[in-house]
Amino acid sequence: MDNKNKQPDNEKRIQDAVTNMADIIFEYDPHKKIITIFNSESAAISLSARGNGKDFSIREIIRLIHREERGVPAAALHRLTEENAHVSCDCRLYGINGINEYLWYHISLNGIYDENNKLGGVFGMATDISESLAAGLEWKTKANTDSLTGISNRERAAEVIDRYLSETRGARGIFALVDMDDFKALNDTKGHIFGDSALRQIALLLKAAFRENDLISRLGGDEFAVFAFGASDYAPIAAKIISVGQTAEKMGFTTLSAGLAKGTRKERFALLYERADKALYEAKEAGKGICRVYRG
């Protein structure tokens, strides 16, 4: 066999070897804001069918990233320099290979620089690490979950909100500190078992009232928190909380009061909590089943 016939086979073997290194191999053009996926038709199955089926806009790709990690790849990209030409991060992606759920991927980014030391492109690989993380994530989930209600606890709420506000460009949202009215009296008259049932039901009602990607947490006692990602209008948030309280009251539990504060990249969980707590105090002073907004 002559060398001409060997060359295509060698190129194919090299291409196959590179392809098998990762679930997704891609290149990012920072000037056109386009990501080209090279190795997997199925990797793009949940993306809208635009262009040639391999080129996708940043907006399309961002839609696949779990809201809690949407700022992570961008933050990694900003760390790329000629001296630090390789960075990596982990995040959850939705719909890859036709799987309609979020899976964890390890993303490796390698900068490609021109003769002027300017970033001309990024070569990347994404590898499914869900199985290897399963055991660790199970432990972490337990550590981040309120054992009574099954929703996020205070530590998880602080972690998610702080990361979102600090790492996401144009980040904004509304934080609501929610309190059950007369919960102590409910506990004293009907007992702790009934009180625990009330807490679990409030958690379920709040999760049902808000979007799937909004963060619902129990901070402790009868104190809950809602963080509505991307929200800027207080009225719909307050209306949902009041409605949940009215439903809970009809079920034999209590109404809800809340204090609301707006979050941007300037704020963090501790400050949002402090502001919402002041607004909640005003709501409690005004009566029951009331929401108040922090005005500074």
Average pLDDT over residues 96-113: 86
Q: Are residues 208 and 235 in the same domain?
A: yes
Q: Are residues 81 and 179 in the same domain?
A: no
Which residue has 């590898």 as its token pair?
127
Q: How many residues does the chain have?
A: 296
pLDDT of residue 20: 52
* Number of separate domains in the chain: 2
Q: Are residues 109 and 157 in the same domain?
A: no
* Reported confidence tier of residue 115, pLDDT bands at 50, 70, 90: confident
- How big is the chain by its Cα radius of gyration, in Å? 24
Task: Kindly state the DSSP code that residue 95 receives in the 8-state scheme.
Answer: S
pLDDT of residue 14: 41
pLDDT of residue 192: 87
Round the average pLDDT of the chain to a whole number and report it: 84
Residue 228's domain comprises: 145-293
Residue 243, phi then psi, degrees to nearest 5: -60, -45
Percent of the chain with pLDDT over 70: 83
Task: Kindly state the DSSP code that residue 80 receives in the 8-state scheme.
Answer: -
- Has residue 179 been placed in a domain? yes
Q: DSSP states of 240-272 as a string?
A: HHHHHHHHHHHTTS--EEEEEEEEETT--HHHH
Average pLDDT over residues 199-219: 94
CATH number of the domain to which 287 belongs: 3.30.70.270
CATH number of the domain to which 86 belongs: 3.30.450.20
* CB contact burial 62-84 (16+ within 10 A = b; e otherwise): eebbebbbbbbbebbbeebeeee
Residue 4 has pLDDT above 60, yes or no: no
- Has residue 198 been placed in a domain? yes
Q: Are residues 8 and 67 in the same domain?
A: yes
For 170-189, how does the pLDDT look when each residue is reduced to its tens digit (9 = 90+)? Answer: 899 999 999 999 999 998 89
Asked if 226 and 245 touch (Cβ cutoff 8 Å), the reply is no
- Has residue 26 been placed in a domain? yes
Q: Are residues 59 and 103 in the same domain?
A: yes
* CB contact burial 237-270 (16+ within 10 A = b; e otherwise): bbebbbebbebbeeeebbbbbbbbbbbeeebebe
Q: Are residues 127 and 162 in the same domain?
A: no
**C-alpha–C-alpha distance, residues 232 and 174, integer Å:** 6
Burial class (CB in 10 A: 0-12, 13-18, 19+), 107: buried
Structure tokens at 215: 């963060």
pLDDT of residue 45: 39
Average pLDDT over residues 244-252: 94
20 compared with 108, residue with greater pLDDT:
108
Bridge-based pairing of strands 256-264 and 291-293 is parallel
Q: Are residues 123 and 28 in the same domain?
A: yes
| Furthest CA-CA distance within the chain | 91
Residue 49 has pLDDT above 50, yes or no: no
pLDDT of residue 3: 46
For 8-41, how does the pLDDT look when each residue is reduced to its tens digit (9 = 90+)? Answer: 454 444 444 444 556 788 889 988 889 988 765 4
Q: Are residues 116 and 234 in the same domain?
A: no
pLDDT of residue 141: 62
Q: Are residues 38 and 149 in the same domain?
A: no
- Has residue 217 been placed in a domain? yes
* Reported confidence tier of residue 93, pLDDT bands at 50, 70, 90: very high
Please tell me the pTM assigned to this model.
0.57
> Among 67-81, 161-175, 184-198, which stretch is predicted with the lowest mean pLDDT?
67-81
* Reported confidence tier of residue 234, pLDDT bands at 50, 70, 90: very high
- In the chain, what is the straight-line distance between the N-terminal and C-terminal CA atoms, in Å? 81
**C-alpha–C-alpha distance, residues 13 and 19, integer Å:** 10
Q: Are residues 18 and 61 in the same domain?
A: yes
Q: Are residues 178 and 44 in the same domain?
A: no
Beta-bridge mates of residue 35: 28, 56
Question: Would you put residue 225 in left (φ > 0), alpha (ψ -120 to 50) or beta?
Answer: beta
Bridge-based pairing of strands 291-293 and 172-180 is unpaired
- Has residue 140 been placed in a domain? no
Angle at 243 between CA 240 and CA 249, to 5 degrees: 145
* Reported confidence tier of residue 100, pLDDT bands at 50, 70, 90: confident
98 compared with 112, residue with greater pLDDT:
112
Average pLDDT over residues 154-182: 92
3-state secondary structure of 135: helix
Asked if 56 and 27 touch (Cβ cutoff 8 Å), the reply is no
Average pLDDT over residues 183-199: 91
Average pLDDT over residues 136-142: 59
The residue out of 135, 153, 175 marking a domain boundary is 135
The residue out of 135, 161, 196 marking a domain boundary is 135
* Reported confidence tier of residue 133, pLDDT bands at 50, 70, 90: confident
The residue out of 135, 162, 191 marking a domain boundary is 135
Q: Are residues 151 and 282 in the same domain?
A: yes
| Ordered strands of the 256-264 beta sheet | 215-220, 223-229, 172-180, 256-264, 291-293
